[in-house]
Chain A
Amino acid sequence: MLRIEGLTKTYKTGDTALRGVSLEVPTGQILGLIGPSGAGKSTLIRCVNRLVEPSSGSIMLGDIDLAGLNRAELRRQRRRIGMIFQEYALVERLTLMENVLSGRLGYVSFWRSLLRRFPGKDIQRAYQLLDRVGLIDHVDKRADALSGGQRQRVGIARALAQEPELLLVDEPTASLDPKTSRQIMRLLTEICAERDLPAVVNIHDVPLAKQFMQRIVGLRAGEIVFDGPPSDLTESALTTIYGAVDWNTMRKEDEEKQEADAETDRQLAEIA
């Protein structure tokens, strides 16, 4: 279980990205974090595994406060937290197997990892995970030879190789097309359900969040302004999160896109 209390982050530039955020994520829950650009979503999940140093507040994972760890302890605790990135962040020139095994780095000695001599159990598990995400036939391919959706599945396998107690997911589908996005979200939610794994998922796409998340937290200007099940996410709730103008823009975007397409077609027809 993850329990965040009074988390505040002010960057060196003076931007306050989080203002006293408190949040509890019980085991097995998939939580979607939504909010306008710059609301502090990335900052929040990056504070949890300390890729960003929190300014104040506590972050309890089980009964350990992640906010107050020294470097060596932090490394040990990071093993418990898997992270999945928007741009996949795979090491491009390494094979899929190496990318997945890199999830075990926190558990093996430097020499074993240098010689790629991972324990048999780790290798078995890596094969199993690559099979689970449907990439067992590409084990020896380099990561830069994959499509976006395939890369994100490797990203998921790498995070799971850590045998984490918590998943942090930063906009997993923002670089993917709608169909692949849904496949990835389905895979992610299935895997979390299989393992009773809690996850915090930053997500831009409101319909996608409503479809796949069990609980939605809305962040606006560094503060939580909504917390509830997807069914409570009414238009007025969305207006609170995104602001009236933004929300109306988002809703209209689809119509406008279609209109713009039609307009372009008309213009092209005229020129021709």
Chain B
Amino acid sequence: MTAEATNYPSTWRRPPQVFTTRTTRYALYGGIVLYLILASLSIDVDWQRVYIGLERGQRFVMGFLQPDFTSRWNEIVRGLTESLTMTLTSTVVGVLISVPIGIGAARNLVPAPVYYVCRSIIAVSRALQEIIIAIFLVAMFGFGPFAGFLTLSFATIGFLAKLLADDIEEIDARQAEAIRSTGASWFQLVNYAVQPQVMPRLIGLSLYRLDINFRESSVIGIVGAGGIGATLNTAIDRYEYDDAGAILLIISGFVLIAEYGSSTIRKYLQ
């Protein structure tokens, strides 16, 4: 009944999916190599400057190896406190604003005009990179953590509202239909059919955003939005690489803690 296995070929190759003829494929590879060669020739390198930079980089690395935690300890603590405050408040405020916007941006829950307005808010928030918003807000509100707080809250909205809205659009429609058929109002529908389906993910995303906001808070500090980033910037400006090294180590430590903490908490959800 069954044929001998040896009658069948013992090799098989996946057929090419996009460029099916050999010539187009080789032409494409050749083109890429040629482009890379031409592009690297067009880069103008000032080797003198690279040499100086290498020396400075070496001092930077040395600073890392001998970090100085003590001489600017008070400033570091102040920067850290500012950063952590900024992170926490902006995440809380961002999440609180994201929830209604996220619901409004879910096609299956709201009429078209509300949907378009909320999606536009999200698009604006996502289009503007944190640093650009920070520069703008520092110009408006002056140096310091308030500008940072606003920046991170705004960025949180784009991130969280979008992911929440996408999640709501993918809920099980039958559960929503069943609640609707009992005569529930729109708010009750959201509370009984939508919230149970998206809550675990909303909490997970909020924790993830908390983590992102801490990292961002040290970056936007460099453009004047306060926090540990500002402290770091000052240290680098003064060529105090041993202080800078200490600050970077502390930031890395906190990022690790945040990373580990949020993933542990997320595991407990569901």
Contacts and interface: CB of A to CB of B under 8 A. Distances in A.
Interface string A103-119: 11111001001100000
Interface stretch (A75-83, A209-217, A228-236): A75-83
B177 interface: yes
B196 A93 contact: yes
A213 to B, nearest CB: 22
Contact of A110 (B172, B180, B187, B199): B187
Nearest to A105: B184
Q: Which 7 A-B pairs have the closest CB atoms?
A: A106-B183, A89-B178, A105-B184, A78-B183, A79-B183, A93-B196, A89-B174
Contacts of A106: 182-184
B182 A110 contact: no
B167 to A, nearest CB: 14
Interface of B: 1-2, 172, 174-175, 177-185, 187-188, 191-193, 196-197, 199-200
A213 B43 CA distance: 83
B177 A76 contact: no
A255 B199 CA distance: 49
Nearest to B181: A83
A51 B191 contact: no
A76 B177 CA distance: 16
A8 interface: no
A90 B175 contact: yes
B196 A75 contact: no
Nearest to B189: A105
A75 B192 contact: no
A92 interface: yes
B174 A79 contact: no
Nearest to A50: B181
Given A91-B196, A93-B197, A113-B191, A75 B175 contact: no
Please classify how large the interface on chain A is, using the bins under 10, 10 to 19, 20 to 34, 35 or more. Answer: 20 to 34
Contacts of A79: 182-183
Contacts of A75: 183-185
Contact of B188 (A93, A94, A113): A113
A126 to B, nearest CB: 13
Interface of A: 49, 51, 75-79, 81, 83, 85, 87, 89-94, 98, 102-107, 110, 113-114, 155, 158, 162, 270-271
A106 B178 CA distance: 12
Contacts of B184: 75, 102, 105-106, 113
Given A87-B174, A89-B175, A91-B175, A81 B181 contact: yes
A158 B192 CA distance: 13
A270 B182 contact: no
Contacts of A103: 182
Contacts of A90: 175, 178
A89 B177 contact: yes
A93 B219 CA distance: 39
Listed residue (B2, B177, B192, B199) with the most chain A CB atoms within 10 angstroms of its CB: B192
A118 to B, nearest CB: 12
A51 B180 contact: yes
Contacts of A93: 196-197, 199-200
B185 A158 contact: no
Contacts of A271: 1-2
19 contacts: A49-B181, A76-B183, A79-B182, A83-B178, A85-B174, A89-B177, A90-B178, A91-B175, A91-B192, A93-B196, A94-B196, A98-B192, A105-B179, A105-B182, A105-B192, A113-B188, A113-B192, A162-B183, A271-B1
A94 B22 CA distance: 58
A165 to B, nearest CB: 13
